[in-house]
A and B are shown apart, each in its own frame.
Chain A
Amino acid sequence: MNHPGTRRRPSIAAIVGALCFLGFLALLFYGVHESDRVDRDALPSPLIGKPAPQFALPVLHEPGRLVTSKELLGAPYVLNVWGSWCPECRIEHPVLSNFAMTKRVRVIGYNLKDEHNDALKWLEQFGNPYMLVLSDYDGRAAIDWGIYGAPETFLVDGKGIVRWKHVGALDDTIINDELLPQLKRVEAGK
Chain B
Amino acid sequence: MKAVAHWFAGCAVALGLLLSANQPARAQSVSDATPLQFQDSTEEARFHALTSELRCVMCQNQSLADSNAQIAHDLRREVLKLMREGKSNEEVVAFLVQRYGEFVRYKPAMEPSTWLLWFGPVLLLFGGGFVVFRIVRARGRHDVTAPDDEQEW
Name the CB-closest residue of A to B100: A146
The 10 nearest A-B residue pairs measured at CB:
A86-B27, A13-B134, A113-B29, A146-B99, A148-B57, A46-B101, A9-B138, A10-B138, A148-B71, A149-B26
Q: Mark B65-95, 1 if CB is under 8 A from A, else 0.
A: 0000011001100100000000000000000
Please indicate the chain B residues that have their CB under 8 angstroms from the CB of A16 in the complex.
Answer: 127, 130-131, 134
Q: Identify whether the interface residues of B are mostly helix, strand, loop, or mixed.
A: helix
B residues contacting A by CB (< 8 A) are 9, 12-13, 16-17, 20, 24-31, 57-58, 60, 70-71, 74-75, 78, 97-103, 124, 127-128, 130-131, 134-135, 137-138, 141-142, 145
Please indicate the chain A residues that have their CB under 8 angstroms from the CB of B75 in the complex.
Answer: 143
A-B contact pairs, 19 of them (CB 8 A): A9-B137, A13-B130, A13-B135, A41-B60, A43-B103, A46-B100, A83-B27, A85-B12, A85-B13, A85-B29, A85-B30, A88-B25, A139-B71, A143-B75, A148-B71, A149-B28, A150-B29, A151-B27, A169-B24
- Candidates B17, B26, B134; contact of A150 at CB < 8 Å: B26
A residues contacting B by CB (< 8 A) are 3, 5-6, 9-10, 12-13, 16-17, 20, 38, 41, 43-47, 83, 85-89, 112-114, 139-140, 142-146, 148-151, 167-169
CB distance from A134 to the nearest CB of B (A): 16
Q: Beyond A85-B13, A146-B101, is A12–B141 a contact (Cβ under 8 Å)?
A: no
Distance, CA A146 to CA B134, complexed state (A): 51
Please indicate the chain A residues that have their CB under 8 angstroms from the CB of B99 in the complex.
Answer: 46-47, 143-146
Please indicate the chain A residues that have their CB under 8 angstroms from the CB of B58 in the complex.
Answer: 148-149
Distance, CA A146 to CA B125, complexed state (A): 38
Distance, CA A107 to CA B101, complexed state (A): 26
Extra inter-chain contacts (13) besides given A43-B103, A88-B25, CB under 8 Å: A13-B134, A16-B130, A20-B127, A43-B101, A46-B97, A85-B9, A85-B13, A113-B31, A114-B29, A144-B99, A146-B100, A149-B26, A169-B24
Please indicate the chain A residues that have their CB under 8 angstroms from the CB of B28 in the complex.
Answer: 85, 149
Q: Are A13 and B27 in contact (CB under 8 A)?
A: no
Please indicate the chain B residues that have their CB under 8 angstroms from the CB of A38 in the complex.
Answer: 24
Distance, CA A113 to CA B12, complexed state (A): 15
Looking at B26, B127, B128, the one whose CB has the most chain A CB atoms below 10 A away is: B26
Please indicate the chain A residues that have their CB under 8 angstroms from the CB of B141 in the complex.
Answer: 5-6, 9
- Candidates B24, B29, B101; contact of A112 at CB < 8 Å: B29
Q: Are A149 and B134 in contact (CB under 8 A)?
A: no
Distance, CA A6 to CA B27, complexed state (A): 63
Please indicate the chain B residues that have their CB under 8 angstroms from the CB of A86 in the complex.
Answer: 27, 29
- Candidates A5, A83, A144; contact of B29 at CB < 8 Å: A83
Q: Are B27 and A87 in contact (CB under 8 A)?
A: yes
Name the CB-closest residue of A to B17: A87
CB distance from A39 to the nearest CB of B (A): 9
CB distance from A17 to the nearest CB of B (A): 5
CB distance from A112 to the nearest CB of B (A): 6
Q: Are B134 and A88 in contact (CB under 8 A)?
A: no
Please indicate the chain B residues that have their CB under 8 angstroms from the CB of A46 in the complex.
Answer: 97-102
